Structures are given as structure tokens and as C-alpha cells.
A and B are shown apart, each in its own frame.
Chain A
Amino acid sequence: MDMRLNLPGLPDFSFKNPILTASGTFGYGVEFAPYGDLTTLGGIVVKGLSLAPRAGNPMPRIAETPCGMLNAVGLQNSGVESFITEKLPKLPWRELPVIANIYACDPGEFAELTGVLAREQGIAAIEVNISCPNVKEGGILFGQDARQAARVTEAVKRMAGDKPVIIKLSPNVTDITTIAKAVEDAGADMLSCINTLSGMGVDIRTRKPLLANVIGGLSGPAIKPVALRCVWQVSRAVNIPVIGIGGIASAEDVLEFMLVGAHAVQVGTANFLRPDFSFRLVQEFEQLLQKMNITDLEEFRGSLKA
């Protein structure tokens, strides 16, 4: 069946199905190519890119928690130029949207990074990480302050040309809709929500934190109720498409996010359940739609009776 969704305000941009992979959990895409056909996915959001290579945080930087995981990788990446020359050519970008997730320390650097990526034919859209809890410089501060979030959005939009700009929202705020509306007003084309929740884990035997960074980002099924709540609130507050992220681990979860208003979803931590997870999810989602006799996703989307 046709699982394509129209995206309001973006007549020239669509996902052929609503299942994308989330940044930081799918590498640069090429790592998962042996386990499935990348072109069957709705889109790939690649590992967060910065202007210069980043070493990230010290080890240990991941820890397993009940129904979730903590990470404080700290945006390790080989830099935008390395991505463009070495990774992007290996991705089937003509056949599915490859979305570049970006991180920078100030609005000027965000703009510079966007300018580099805007020239690349293989990049379909730019997702802006204003909400990473694991880096000291800037990081989550942009995502917790409406004015700062708007400044970054404006800076990126100025340089993005015709590439849609997606702002990735943090749940670590008092009112997520305030930030959502601020970045919508600043020109964001889409929103993705949510990034990880701030959390920590400790070991009573060693009396040490589980992460060298002490605090990290919690992801996985443990955060799904928070993510659903955020998508529900944000999708009612804005008029631009919302991509739901947070603990999606089944086809039913995808429908739950669409029910509360998401146009698409990104699968994150579940990619670690098995490396072919997202590929299988696309198939399972189609089977679920048939089983539930859902033929019009647009009609289903946001139809929560509340």
C-alpha cells in the first residue's frame, strides 16, 4: 500500500513511508547496509556532524538501564568534510532522503555548517541538534531557551537554501510548546521530538557513576510515554510537520505516534535490538496497517479521541 505522507508546507518533499532512523543510532547508514536494503526506509538521519572532528567524551559512555540506555557519547564524529567525501557517496541518496543532523557551538557555526551541507545534492534536509545533553559547549542550552533556539533556527534557515530545516527539540524543558512555537516562527520547516531525557546511573559496589560524564541522555522504550506526550502537545501547538522520536520498538508504537499527531517517526535505540530492526519495522508496519484496515494514514494521523 502507499504509505507516503504529505508534509504541509513542503510540497516538494515527502517520505515514502513514515519510518526513519534516528541520528546517533544508525551511524552513517553504511554500517547497516549489510543487514537490509536502505532504500526501503523512509529516510536516514545520519550521526550528528560538526564542522571539525570531535573526539567525544571519555569511556564509559553508554550504559544499559531497564527498558532503555544512557549515553554520553558527546557527538564524536569525523567532521562534515569527511562525511561528505567518504560517507555520503556510499549512501543511496537518490533513492531516499538522507538527512544531515548537525551540531555547533554558536549560531554562526551552525550557519557555516549548514552552508557546507546546503551545497550537497545528496542531502535532502538538515536536522538541527539544539538539544544535546552530552556536550558542554552550548549543547542543550540552545534548546532550553526560546530566544536562543529561534536565533539558531534563523541562522540555519538563512544558509539552508531549498533544504528543509528540522529542529530537534529537547524534552528537558518546562514547556516544550514554547520552544516549538519559537522555532516555527523563526522559520523551521519541521520539528523532531524528542531528544534524550537527561538521566544518570550509578553502581553501588564501585560507588561510581555508570558514565564517565556522570550525566547522559536516556533513550529507549523507557521514554516512550514522555515522547508521546511531547509529540501530542507540540503537534497541536504548531502548523508544521512533527517527527516523533522516543522508544519506538514496534509497528504499534509507530501508529501510536501518528495517532497523537506525528507525520513520521525516527527509530533510535531499537536499532540496537538487532541491526535489521528498522528494515523489519517497515514491513511490519505495512502488515499492521493491512491488519487494522487503515488505508489512509493522513486520516488516521492526529485522530486521537481526547
Chain B
Amino acid sequence: MTNEQCTTLKVLDNVPFGQIAGEHLFFALRLERPTWKSWQPGQFVMVRPSGWALDMLWARPFSICRVSNRDLVLFFQAVGRGTRRMASLKSGDEVLVWGPLGNSFEMEPDTPTLLLAGGIGIAPFVGYVHTHPRPWNLHMEFGHRMPLNCYPYESINEKIMGDAHHEQKPEDLAAFIDCMDKRIEEFAGQNGLVLACGPTPFLRTVQQLSQKHNARCQLSLETRMACGVGACLGCVTKVSDDMQVNGVAAGRAQVCNHGPVFWAHQVNLSED
């Protein structure tokens, strides 16, 4: 049985980025190009290396970083049991991939658009920037804790204006938040678009700032998933009343198939 939405792909290479204490934790995993007809920046794929036996059951979700004529590129941080094992993938290994899954970021070519990335949340913006028809309307603020060369920042910075903010001490975080505050206010004033991806505390801050300035803002949520197709209900987020349509049960929506991108006013990121 073949299905272009669930297919086995060969690893072309698995390129480490940067070093932390002599160890590589960040990787660009380059796979054969799938036969998808289309994809949109912000969508994701589920990846399960064929070598995994039954000790780890779930595939892992990854934002699509880039798709070219030759390859599919995913960017990941070796942080847990699965991604640590994925760090050892080599050229010629096979992985099962299903997708593209979920929805995508708004793309309004003529609208000034602010990209806010936190750490590994930079991944989907690589594809966004490289497929945007008018990249001169884009600007990025990138907050990161690891050295800059751990991330695919260069790939973005060569196309659009951007600033990187290295958080090494608490004052750095405060300065980054202050910067985002000013930038969101500025883009809101131009009826611009604000897009954000990163860890939940970062998104919570972006959400608060966008509400403060009444900015049009989308957030791409990252969460644990088992199936990626809306069946397991393991990746839900609390949503506001106006999302209680389209099969959303009692205020909780699956991130995988109702997102991962939500308008900031639609989700409630407060802890349960």
C-alpha cells in the first residue's frame, strides 16, 4: 500500500549545528523530497525512524523547515529520548513521514509582518521567509539561549532584516521582552501581522503583548503528540468560545488538526 501522505523517505544527511560543551544538540535533518503536491509554512510532519522498534511507539512532530525540489529539511533539538536517538540518523537510513499536517501561518504579501521566534521555534520561519513573495515586508526578532550558530538563523538573515537576542542572564530576557513590546506596537500601528513560534512561556508573553497593542497575531503551538491526525486527543489546547464550532468539544481543541497555528485571541495559554 502506498500513500503519498504516509511514506518512507531516505535520510540524505543529518547536519549538526553549533556545539554546546563539545556536543551537538541541534540538527538539520535532510530527507528525500516527498511526493506531496503542496505544503504551507507552519505545517508539520510526523517522523518515525524505521529503525525504531516498539520500545518507542510515537512518531515525533516537527515543523517543516524547508522543502525544495530535492529535499525536505527538518530542524530539531536533541532534547528527549526520541530526538536524542534521531541525532544518530545517518545518510541512507529510512524514516517514516506522514504529512503535511495541520494549518499554516497567514501570508499577506503586502502586509508588514513581524516574525517572533523563540529558540527552536525559528524552524517554520525558514520556510516562511523563503516562500514569501515579498520578503522585504518581513522582519524577525529572534530570542535564543544557545549560541546563535546552533540555529538556522543565517538562512533567514540573508533574506530579511532581523535581530538576534542572546539570553544569557535575566536582564537579557527583560530586554528582549521590551524589544518585542515595541515591535508589536509598531506593527500593530501599521495594521501589520505578528507571527510567533517558540516555547509556551514565550508564546504567552507574545499573546499578552499582542492583546495589549491590539495586534493581529498568530501563534504556532508546540506540544506533545501521539498521532498528529486528531485522533488521540493528547495535544489539546484550551480555546476561547468562538472556537467552539467545527467539532471542538467543550473548550479544548487538538493542536494537530485545529492548529498548530491559532490566532492569539482564540487560545487560552494559561496553565490548567
B21 part of interface (Cβ distance < 8 Å): no
> A55 and B257: CB pair below 8 A?
no
Minimum distance in angstroms from A227 CB to a CB of chain B: 15
CA distance A69 to B226 in the complex (A): 9
- A–B pairs, 17, beta carbons within 8 Å: A24-B232, A24-B233, A25-B227, A31-B227, A32-B231, A36-B1, A55-B250, A62-B224, A62-B234, A64-B58, A67-B54, A71-B232, A86-B247, A272-B59, A273-B48, A275-B227, A275-B229
Interface residues of B (CB under 8 A from A): 1, 3, 5-6, 48, 54-59, 81-82, 96, 98, 223-224, 226-237, 247-252, 257, 272
A26 part of interface (Cβ distance < 8 Å): yes
Given contacts A31-B257, A34-B5, A220-B57, contact A71 B234 (CB under 8 A): yes
Given contacts A27-B231, A36-B1, contact A67 B57 (CB under 8 A): yes
Which residues of B lie under 8 Å from residue A35 when comparing CB positions?
3, 5-6, 98, 229
CB closest chain-B residue, reference A27? B231
In the complex, the number of residue pairs spanning A and B with C-beta atoms less than 8 Å apart equals 126
List the one stretch of A76-84, A118-126, A157-165, A296-304 in contact with chain B.
A76-84
Given A62-B234, A64-B57, 16 additional A-B pairs, CB 8 A = A24-B232, A27-B232, A35-B6, A35-B229, A56-B233, A56-B252, A59-B237, A60-B224, A71-B232, A71-B234, A73-B232, A269-B57, A272-B58, A272-B232, A275-B227, A280-B1
CA distance A149 to B221 in the complex (A): 41
A283 part of interface (Cβ distance < 8 Å): yes
CA distance A60 to B233 in the complex (A): 11
> A61 and B234: CB pair below 8 A?
yes
> A82 and B224: CB pair below 8 A?
no
CA distance A283 to B236 in the complex (A): 33
A108 part of interface (Cβ distance < 8 Å): no
CA distance A78 to B258 in the complex (A): 14
CB-CB nearest 8 A-B residue pairs:
A58-B272, A62-B234, A27-B231, A55-B250, A78-B249, A272-B226, A53-B250, A31-B231
Given contacts A27-B229, A27-B231, A76-B236, contact A275 B6 (CB under 8 A): yes
> B257 and A53: CB pair below 8 A?
no
A68 part of interface (Cβ distance < 8 Å): yes
> A274 and B236: CB pair below 8 A?
no
Interface of chain B, main secondary structure: loop
CB closest chain-B residue, reference A269? B57
Which residues of A lie under 8 Å from residue B98 when comparing CB positions?
35, 274-275
> A59 and B272: CB pair below 8 A?
yes
> A62 and B249: CB pair below 8 A?
no
Which residues of B lie under 8 Å from residue A82 when comparing CB positions?
247, 249
| 1/0 contact string of A43-58 vs chain B (CB within 8 Å) | 0000100000111101
> A62 and B226: CB pair below 8 A?
yes
CB closest chain-A residue, reference B2? A276
> A212 and B272: CB pair below 8 A?
yes
A11 part of interface (Cβ distance < 8 Å): no
Which residues of A lie under 8 Å from residue B5 when comparing CB positions?
34-35
Which residues of A lie under 8 Å from residue B57 when comparing CB positions?
64, 67-69, 220-221, 269-270, 272-273
Minimum distance in angstroms from B269 CB to a CB of chain A: 11
A129 part of interface (Cβ distance < 8 Å): no
> B1 and A55: CB pair below 8 A?
no
CA distance A77 to B6 in the complex (A): 27
CA distance A279 to B230 in the complex (A): 18
Minimum distance in angstroms from B206 CB to a CB of chain A: 19
CA distance A144 to B220 in the complex (A): 43
| 1/0 contact string of A200-223 vs chain B (CB within 8 Å) | 000000000000100000001100
> B249 and A272: CB pair below 8 A?
no
A66 part of interface (Cβ distance < 8 Å): yes
CA distance A26 to B231 in the complex (A): 5
Minimum distance in angstroms from B45 CB to a CB of chain A: 12
> B56 and A64: CB pair below 8 A?
yes
> A27 and B250: CB pair below 8 A?
no
Minimum distance in angstroms from A49 CB to a CB of chain B: 11
Minimum distance in angstroms from A96 CB to a CB of chain B: 17
Contact of B6 among A68, A87, A274 (CB under 8 A): A274
Within 8 A of B (CB), among A221-272: 221, 249, 269-272
Contact of A25 among B58, B232, B248, B257 (CB under 8 A): B232
> B3 and A36: CB pair below 8 A?
yes
Given contacts A64-B56, A68-B57, contact A76 B230 (CB under 8 A): no
